[in-house]
Amino acid sequence: MADSETTKGNASKATPASPATAKASTRTGFQPRTLFFYGSLMDPEVLARVARLWRQTPLLEDAWIEGFELKLWGGKYPVVLPTTGTATAATDAKDGDADASSDGTAATAPPRVHGKAWLTTSQNQLDWLQYYETDAYEPVECEVHVGKEGEGEGEMRKGWAFKWSGVRPVGELVEGTWDLEEWRRTRKGSVLR
């Protein structure tokens, strides 16, 4: 997900990871959820601090989502926006849509945003994450592909990602890429203060 040197932070639905989390969810009514992160929350230390995991190292898995594009808010904070028409691109291509190549196959695959997946186990964690993300982001349901790219389609899980909420002018978004290692070198310290 996105990052902010000040505050940002909420989110989503998956199968309980263990009997312990299944038991906890029945007591509280909360269902553990898979969250997809594509910014500073991909860093385990940042995620642990923001989600108040106290001395626990979160298990983050390689993942991606399709049908979203990544932009930068103010040139430095990553955001995702749903793309239009990607869910039916392959079907349309077979039906002779303009997105088809001359041999009838889809011209392009749906856009992918790469990141990390994590299973949240409490509403409190979700609340802290939404606070961290600020009102510039809102949770959206999505299919999270968990696994390494190039090793098939990955395990598909229903989950949530924080997308651009639209409360700020879309003109604040620019094309660009976001690099976790660069962020760790230049900005991580300000988040962990």
Distances (CA, A) of 163 to 80, 104, 115, 129, 150: 5, 33, 13, 13, 25
Residuewise pLDDT in 10s, the chain (193 residues): 444 443 343 333 333 333 334 444 445 688 999 999 999 999 999 999 999 998 899 999 999 999 999 999 999 999 999 997 644 333 333 344 444 444 555 557 778 999 999 999 999 999 999 999 999 999 999 999 999 877 777 899 999 999 999 998 888 999 999 999 999 999 999 988 8
What residues does each domain of the chain span?
19-87+106-192
Per-residue pLDDT, 51: 96
- CATH architecture of the domain 19-87+106-192 equals Roll (3.10)
- The whole-angstrom distance between residue 143's C-alpha and the CA centroid of its chain comes to 10
Dist CA 161 CA 129 (whole Å): 11
Q: Model-level pTM greater than 0.85?
A: no
pLDDT (0 to 100) of residue 28:
63
Residue 22, SS3?
helix
Write down the pLDDT at residue 154: 82
